[in-house]
Amino acid sequence: MTPTPDRSMMAPVRAGSRACLLALVVVALASTGATCPNALRGYQVGVSPLPRALPEQPTLEQVIGTVHDNTRRVRSLMAPQAVLSVPGVPRLSAQVACEPPRRFRLRAQTSITGGELDIGSNDDLFWLWIRRHEPAVTLYCRHDDYAKSAARKLIPLRADWMPELLGLVTFRPEDQHEGPVPSSEGRIEIRTTMAGPDGAMRKSTILDGTTGLVLEQHLFTPTGERLASVRTSRHRVDPTSGAALPRLVEVSWPASGVEFQLELTSITTNMPPADPGQLWQMPSYEGFQPIDLADPAVTITGPASPGGALPAATPLPAAPAAMAPQRPLPPAQPAGFSSPPQPYPG
């Protein structure tokens, strides 16, 4: 049942803080899920080389088929011992759960303060809860209403892209795909054009030219500005599913300066959750009022706007340098795909 928002809190919502943008960025990324695990079983990037999955000059169909074969092995993913690192925020212990295409949950907390962040999505809606926000609200939006919601003005991304954050990538047949285009260091690039409510969006997917592993994803606005980037690394082959899955996820949101890392120290695949009803249900936090981002009374303004129902989160101590991503993400690129995004240095 969709929660009933408190109408007294339908003042313009100010969502300019790093914490809120971080949450919304994570909520906005997604894709799919199952097959034979024997081909890759026992391999690990950096320990044993993964076998060649692509010919020396692969076709677009071969690249997409290899990516989809890896993605379909995973019907569900659980990472109960993860670490979320954000510059300016203390390291948080986290738990991640995912059932493609829309079920996703990321919860983070500290041993002292308890729960700090709850981001989730089920078949009907997504939500985000940040303990440090004043006033106390839980933001949510139904998937069907996202295109006309205030959330889209802040983050023009579909809300069903979450598994792609974890490397479970799908190339939709309704999108236009080009490539593969040779890149540096033996990598290849697939360039995708996707229809969006504000114009055609573009995505650059960087893959290993031998194994077909997805290493980077860069999303561009219709005007060519880099909207978001995800880099996945430290891939290991999951013995249960046979899928090669990343253990380190790095996300960048250049417009807001948000960068964070998600370290997945242990992963379990294709196992049903202990309590699926609770895991995929939007929670109710005592003292926090639900705000529907699709409600016409809700507006989102920039961080410089005065007032608003959702001010910036309480400032936190600066994070140690070790929390920041080891290498910077590439800069924004001009409109179109005149050249592939610059590779990561080093």
Could you tell me which residue, 259 or 19, shows the higher pLDDT? 259
Q: Give the mean model confidence (pLDDT) for residues 121-131.
A: 89
At 279 the three-state DSSP class reads: helix
Confidence check: pLDDT of 41 > 60: no
Characterize the bridge pairing of strands 137-142 and 289-292.
parallel
Q: Give the mean model confidence (pLDDT) for residues 201-213.
A: 96
Confidence check: pLDDT of 333 > 80: no
- Rg for the chain, CA atoms, rounded: 20
Amino acid at 270: N
**Strand-pair partners of 226:** 220
Q: What is the pLDDT of residues 90-117, one digit of tens each?
A: 789 999 999 998 999 999 998 888 888 8
Give CA angle at 72 (175, 180), nearest 5°: 45
Average pLDDT, the chain: 76
- CA atoms of 292 and 2, how far apart (whole Å): 9
Q: What is the pLDDT of residue 8?
A: 47
CATH number listed for the domain at residues 7-36+47-296? 2.50.20.10
Q: What is the pLDDT of residue 290?
A: 92
- CA atoms of 242 and 136, how far apart (whole Å): 43
Q: What is the pTM of this model?
A: 0.73
Characterize the bridge pairing of strands 248-253 and 244-245.
unpaired
Confidence check: pLDDT of 275 > 60: yes
Percent of the chain with pLDDT over 90: 41
Q: What is the pLDDT of residue 316?
A: 26
Q: What is the pLDDT of residue 256?
A: 58
- CA atoms of 61 and 70, how far apart (whole Å): 14
Q: What is the pLDDT of residues 217-257, one digit of tens each?
A: 999 988 888 988 999 999 999 999 999 999 999 988 776 56
Confidence check: pLDDT of 48 > 80: no
Could you tell me which residue, 330 or 214, shows the higher pLDDT? 214
Cis geometry, peptide bond prior to residue 135 (ω within 30 degrees of 0):
yes
* The dihedral sign for the CA sequence 156, 190, 102, 173: positive
Confidence check: pLDDT of 329 > 80: no
What is the SS3 string spanning 21-72? HHHHHHHCCCCCCCCCCCCCCCCECCCECCCCCCCCCCCHHHHHHHHHHHHH
